[in-house]
Structure 1
Amino acid sequence: MEHHKHTLVLVRHGQSEDNERELFSGLRDPALTPRGVEEAGTAGATLRTLGYRFDAAFTSRLQRAQHTLALILAALGQSDLPVQADAALNERDYGALAGLNKTEARARFGVEQVRTWRKSHDAVPPGGESLAMTGARLWPFFERTIAPRVRDGACVLVVAHGNSLRSLLMRLDRIDPRHIEEVNIGTAEILVYRGDAASPALTRAAAIAPKMCD
């Protein structure tokens, strides 16, 4: 199997109990649903089929991401790979929205206001973080800890959250803040970036949605 050098693989966690109930999670810590467990295993099997072997893995402090990562590594036969968990990769803090059903939140705050809080770059939900604030804590950690490993030739796996990954994609894909509302990452979706030793830039190589059995 080919060893994928200078490669960064990003994966969103599998479906969580809050995802299933359409609740805002943020820093809440729901477990994976049975479907989320299956999604994570499928993502791992997909990466195994594609020949991936990882040199390092990173995740957040939240169990839905950590469990997804553990299931992926088990599918790859790499359960002994050292993992670094850091709060910089946590989901954005949804503040007063956390724990609310999305329908309930729209009724309480208004449809347009909730859409703006969810999708825009700068809007801050009460007591929470904007996407810009999420990126401000995530990007320095990425540049200091993860990117150097990729530049040195490693194959690195990061399992995190919809919004923490969206904030990272803004930099990697050079997405204008006005267009970030259009960017969505599915549960257990795999995003692959490649680089080389000569350049700090990483380029999107693939987006893979693992196929689930119905």
Structure 2
Amino acid sequence: MGNLVIVRHGESQWNSQNRFTGWTDIDMTEKGVQQARCAGRALAQAGYRFDLAFTSVLRRTIRSQWLILDEMDLMFIPTVSHWRLNERHYGALTGHTRAEIIERFGEEQVWQWRRGYASRPPLMADDDARAPVRESRYRAVDPALLPLGESLEDTVARVRVFWHEAIEPVLRQDRDVLICTHGNSQRALVRLLEPAMADEEVARFDVPNGVPLVYRLNSDLAVLDRHSLQIPEATVSALL
């Protein structure tokens, strides 16, 4: 089968501040730009080529993908952006720093929200101006599908629909696929690719910014091999 490579976007401005970002459309830092370019150079040097690329509809993944494909001289390939690849929605935690939330709710509760597989944070108010239903980019989406807060388990269920409808059919055509995504939507993809992985292991799966995760699959899309590319000065997962 073709190669599947998943890359978390470069560091965002809120990543650098330890803020819960979720569906907020925050751009990258200069460090994040360099992380994305470095990922593209590493993929090119390792000989990877792609037929199709997927991202969320948030600029930190879209811009990261542009930069990766630019470094690979592949900006001409078809790309698909879809809301089901968005980051986990952090509900009422959105925009707050981790320290602020710990001070309010306690470290144990915040740890459960961050790393519990089925733990859903307090929901965002449905009349909040930041609610997805109020954003023009989601106007074609059934409002009943748009979350006000998600657990990782919820995120997996959301991503699973797009995986089966859009990504899996392309892989079965023996095409090479790049997915530029977020920390928790990448964990969701890992869960779909490796269903035997325990919930706790999925929730704590480390997803560094800008480090390509490479899957080699057989004709049934079972995993033959999974490894991360070696990136100079790769960072560990910063947060949330």
Range class of TM-score, shorter chain:
over 0.9
Q: Which of 23, 26, 32 is equivalent to 1:30?
A: 26
Alignment partner, residue 188 of structure 1: 210
1:9-24 aligned within 5 A: 9-24=5-20
1:141-160 aligned within 5 A: 141-160=162-181
Deviation at 1:104, TM superposition (A): 0.7
- SS state of the match for residue 188, structure 1? coil
1:119-130 aligned within 5 A: 119-127=115-123, 128-130=149-151
- Paired residues in the alignment total 208
- Match of 1:40, as an amino acid? A
TM-superposition CA deviations, 1:160-179 (whole Å, max 9, x none): 00001111212212311133
Alignment partner, residue 97 of structure 1: 93
- Between the aligned partners of 2:52 and 2:97, the Cα distance in structure 1 is 36
1:106-121 aligned within 5 A: 106-121=102-117
TM-superposition CA deviations, 1:48-101 (whole Å, max 9, x none): 001111000000000000000000000000111111000010001000111001
Unpaired stretches in structure 1, ≥5 consecutive residues:
none
Alignment partner, residue 48 of structure 2: 52
- Between the aligned partners of 2:28 and 2:207, the Cα distance in structure 1 is 17
Conserved? CA contact 2:187–2:203, under 8 Å: no
TM-superposition CA deviations, 1:83-139 (whole Å, max 9, x none): 100001000100011100111110011101111101111000011100010010101
- Between the aligned partners of 1:74 and 1:178, the Cα distance in structure 2 is 36
- Match of 1:78, as an amino acid? L
- Between the aligned partners of 2:23 and 2:230, the Cα distance in structure 1 is 25
- Between the aligned partners of 1:24 and 1:203, the Cα distance in structure 2 is 34
Deviation at 1:209, TM superposition (A): 4.6
Conserved? CA contact 1:121–1:177, under 8 Å: yes
Deviates more, 1:76-85 or 1:33-42: 76-85
Conserved? CA contact 1:42–1:212, under 8 Å: no
- Between the aligned partners of 1:50 and 1:12, the Cα distance in structure 2 is 18
Deviation at 1:205, TM superposition (A): 2.9
Q: Which of 55, 79, 86 is equivalent to 1:83?
A: 79
- Between the aligned partners of 1:49 and 1:167, the Cα distance in structure 2 is 28
- Between the aligned partners of 2:211 and 2:160, the Cα distance in structure 1 is 21
Q: Which of 119, 140, 157 is equivalent to 1:136?
A: 157
- SS state of the match for residue 62, structure 2? helix
Deviates more, 1:145-154 or 1:44-53: 145-154
- Between the aligned partners of 2:83 and 2:230, the Cα distance in structure 1 is 26
Q: Which of 176, 190, 214 is equivalent to 2:198?
A: 176
Deviates more, 1:81-90 or 1:165-174: 165-174
Conserved? CA contact 1:39–1:212, under 8 Å: no
Q: Identical aligned pairs, as a percentage? A: 38
Conserved? CA contact 2:152–2:203, under 8 Å: no
Unpaired stretches in structure 2, ≥5 consecutive residues:
124-148, 235-240
